[in-house]
Amino acid sequence: MEFQDCFPVWNKLSAAQQGSILAGLTPRRIKKGTVIHSGSMDCTGLLLVRSGQLRAYILSEAGREVTIYRLFDRDLCLFSASCMLRSIQFDITIEAEKDTDLWIIPAEVYRQIMEESAPAANYTNEIMASRFSEVMWLMEQVMWNSMDKRVAAFLLEESAIEGTDRLALTHEIIANHLGTHREVVTRMLRYFQSEGMVQLSRGVVELLDEKKLRALAET
């Protein structure tokens, strides 16, 4: 898969614009677990995922994490290039959750194309609106839903992403996704186990009753 296939407005760019993107592009292979971008870094550039999986999260001063969104094949990450838009006033950390192939587009190249090209600017708008929607969903979860529902929803989401009921996840990792403490997750999972919804073993959560989990997540 080439860059052109992953960038939906490619055909709406001029030859000069296409040329300047191709000239600026850096392909990178990122190992699972690597932090590609963090708030304190310089403007890393936009990341276009060729294949793999990235996680964007925020970090508290005390080191707690909460996952904001995930990026999959063909997804473009804007917020690793916050220097591109002066109104982006927050720090995000991006980590590879799986081995990931991606392209880095320099922020300055992208900013210039966006300035000239309405299709590129509108594409960027759609991406931002879509991330915004994910953050608003998370906000509603955090504000109105108790932790049991959030853990249930997270397990179902993971199961859908991984395509399996057997999830290789420590309690620590789940806590970092949800912005809570490991102890809280452990207590919740044990309760789920006592209700027959999951089976716990070292580093593994196996979903036994997806229907019951879904009922809990959606009430």
Using CB under 8 A, list all residues that contact a second copy. Answer: 58, 60-62, 64, 66, 68, 85-90, 114-118, 120-122, 124-133, 135-140, 142-144, 179
CA pseudo-torsion sign 179, 185, 188, 194: positive
Shortest reach from residue 182's CB to a second copy, in Å: 16
CB closer to a second copy, 50 vs 131:
131
CA nearest neighbour of 152 among 59, 218, 77: 218
Residue type, position 77, single letter: C
Shortest reach from residue 97's CB to a second copy, in Å: 20
CB closer to a second copy, 66 vs 156:
66
CB closer to a second copy, 153 vs 198:
153
11: left (phi over 0), alpha (psi -120 to 50) or beta: alpha
Residue 51: partners with Cβ closer than 8 Å, 6 or more residues away: 1, 73, 100, 101
CB closer to a second copy, 30 vs 65:
65
How does DSSP classify residue 196?
T
Give me the residues paired with residue 1 across strands. none
Shortest reach from residue 93's CB to a second copy, in Å: 13
Shortest reach from residue 82's CB to a second copy, in Å: 9
Shortest reach from residue 210's CB to a second copy, in Å: 24
CB closer to a second copy, 127 vs 208:
127
SS3 label, residue 26: strand
